Amino acid sequence: MNRKSFLTDIGLVVSGYTLLPSVVFANETVFTPTISSDFIREATINQLQKLLTTGKISSIQLTKLYLDRIAAYNKKGPALNAVIELNPDALAIAKQCDAERKQKKTVGLLHGIPVLLKDNIDTGDKMHTTAGALALQDNIATKDAFLVAKLRAAGAVLLGKTNLSEWANFRSTRSVSGWSSRGGQTKNPYSLDRNPCGSSSGSGAAVSANFCAVAIGTETNGSIHCPSSVNGVVGIKPTVGLVSRSGIIPISKTQDTAGPMTRTVRDAAIVLTTIAGIDPTDPASAASPGASIDYTTYLSADSLAGKRIGIEKSFLTGGHESVLALYKQAISVLKQKGATVVEVEFLSAFNRLGIQATKVLQYEFKDGVNAYLSKANSAIKKLSEVIQYNKDHAEKAMPYFQQEILEASEAKGALTEKDYLDALARYADARKFYTEFFSSQQLDAVCGPSNGAAWCTDLINGDRFSGYGMYGPAAVCGNPSVNVPMGFVHGMPIGIAFLGTAFQEGPLIGIAYAYEQATKHRREPQFAANVS
Distance in angstroms (rounded) separating the CA atoms of residues 398 and 400? 6
DSSP annotation of 437 reads: H
Of the candidates 21, 401, 409, 457, the one whose C-alpha atom is nearest the C-alpha of residue 201 is 457
> Which residues are known catalytic residues?
118, 199, 223
Residue 483: what pLDDT? Answer: 98
> Mind giving me the DSSP string for 252-315?
-TTT-EEEEEESSHHHHHHHHHHH----TT-GGGGGS-GGG--GGGG--TTTTTT-EEEEEGGG
Please classify residue 387 by burial: count the beta carbons closer than 10 Å to its beta carbon, then call 0-12 exposed, 13-18 middle and 19+ buried.
middle
Residues ≥6 apart with Cβ < 8 Å to 461: 174
> Which helix (H) or strand (E) covers residue 239, if one does?
none
164, 156, 168, 187: which is closest to 267 by C-alpha? 156
pLDDT under 70: residue ranges of the chain? 1-36
What pLDDT is stored for residue 492 in this prediction? 98
Can you give the pLDDT at residue 318? 85
For residue 35, what pLDDT is reported?
61
Beta-carbon-side half-sphere exposure of residue 397 (alpha carbons within 13 Å):
21
Q: Identify whether the C-beta of residue 530 lies closer than 8 Å to the C-beta of residue 491.
A: no
Is residue 422 within 8 Å of 416, Cβ to Cβ? no
For position 291, what pLDDT does the model report? 83
pTM for this prediction: 0.93
Distance CA 348, CA 254 (A): 22
CATH 3.40.50.300 fits 1-532, yes or no: no
